[in-house]
Amino acid sequence: MSRFKHLISIDDLTKEDIDYLLSKADSFLPIAEEKRKLKILEGKILANLFFEPSTRTRMSFETAMRRLGGDVINMTSQEASIVKGETLADTIRVVSKYVDVIVIRHSLEGAARFAAENSDVPIINAGDGAGQHPTQTLLDLYTLKRESKLDGVKIALVGDLKYSRTVHSLVKALMLYKAKIYLVCPDSLMLPEELLEEVRAERVEIEDAISEVDALYVTRIQKERFPDEEEYKKVAGSYTITSSLLENAKEDLIIMHPLPRVDEIAVEVDNSKHAIYFKQAFYGVPVRMAILSEVIEWKRD
């Protein structure tokens, strides 16, 4: 029996749920690494309803489903724009009668939960606007578990801590693991007040973080957030991770990034032992295999 039907928000999961999913991901890791195919979801169909495009997330869900032996149906972008003419509820009601599980990405916060209310089959939230993106958080946690540690991890969040959906979800989940959080950001991109209150966090300079922490979690600083381009350049530049900045890094520091990156991490860093952001993207496959097999299991019972 499965622990849950839908995966809408990381907040819906207990620490036990998360631990369970991460150890399930462990069991799928060799399949994803050796690029083999199982038959456990043979005959099952996943529908990707991406109202907003996302290469990495969609392709890793599609890879995960196929490695489990299942089929995938994608809504095309042209179809997505047409579907907007009808209510999301109607679309979900119909598609949920065709397939076994739906992965949805939508520009509106709350869209995934609304979809779940209208669906016969499990809904997995692959990002709903400013809302949640729980499978990203789970793969972030899995990366920490595999490449560093989760319990009591010292992690610095770098860049845009104000608007980054990824950061907000991760911070909440890290609380479950008694992580120590370091905040590295300009004043204008500070973590929202309500999160700051919940969190065991300390604000530091990037240099101090690098010599102290187990993990750097770097995010993109978006130009649109700054009224003045000069101001943007000054800020963005001061958080760029370079080889020289890493000279004082802890031996086993890992550098994470949800990707895509622009220039927050210099290309020269890619070949350092610290760089694990591409591996992090890869971990999306075993984590999504765990999630898909879990929610579809629910349906069967």
Residue 289 touches a second copy, criterion: CB under 8 A: no
Residue 233 touches a second copy, criterion: CB under 8 A: no
Question: Could you tell me the CA-to-CA distances from 27 to 63, 142, 283 in Å, in that order?
Answer: 16, 12, 12
Candidate residues 200, 223, 233, 279; the one interacting with a second copy per rule CB under 8 A:
279
Question: Could you tell me the CA-to-CA distances from 125 to 3, 116, 141 in Å, in that order?
Answer: 16, 9, 17
Residue range at the interface with a second copy (CB under 8 A); choices 80-88, 141-149, 175-183, 195-203 = 80-88
Rounded CA-CA distance 45/241 in Å is: 41
Phi-psi map region of 35: left, alpha, beta (phi>0 left; psi -120 to 50 alpha): left
Helix (H, G, I), strand (E, B) or coil at 238: helix
The torsion angle over the Cα atoms of residues 243, 245, 251 and 255, rounded to 10 degrees, is -80
Apex 203 CA angle, 198 and 209, nearest 5: 120
Residue range at the interface with a second copy (CB under 8 A); choices 56-64, 124-132, 171-179, 180-188 = 56-64
Q: Is 166 a catalytic residue?
A: no
Residue 90 touches a second copy, criterion: CB under 8 A: yes
Pairing of strands 71-74, 45-50: parallel
Residue among 6, 44, 57, 166 flagged as catalytic: 57
Residue 79 or 207 with smaller CB distance to a second copy: 79
Residue 62 or 160 with smaller CB distance to a second copy: 62
Residues 213-232 within binding reach of a second copy (CB under 8 A) = none
Number of residues that bind a second copy (CB under 8 A): 52
Residue 78 touches a second copy, criterion: CB under 8 A: yes
Residues 6+ apart with CB under 8 A from 98: 45, 47, 73
Phi, psi of 275 (to 5 degrees): -75, 115
* Residues 221, 189 contacting (CB under 8 angstroms): yes
> Which tokens sit at 29?
């890791």
Residue 292 touches a second copy, criterion: CB under 8 A: no
Candidate residues 100, 128, 160, 294; the one interacting with a second copy per rule CB under 8 A:
100
Q: Which amino acid is at 146?
A: R
CB of 257 to a second copy, least distance (A): 10
Residue among 133, 154, 257, 274 flagged as catalytic: 133
Q: Is 57 a catalytic residue?
A: yes
Residue 74 touches a second copy, criterion: CB under 8 A: yes
Residues within the interface to a second copy (CB under 8 A): 35-37, 42-45, 47, 53-56, 58-60, 62-63, 66-67, 71-79, 82-83, 85-86, 89-91, 93-95, 97-100, 259-262, 267, 278-279, 281-282, 285
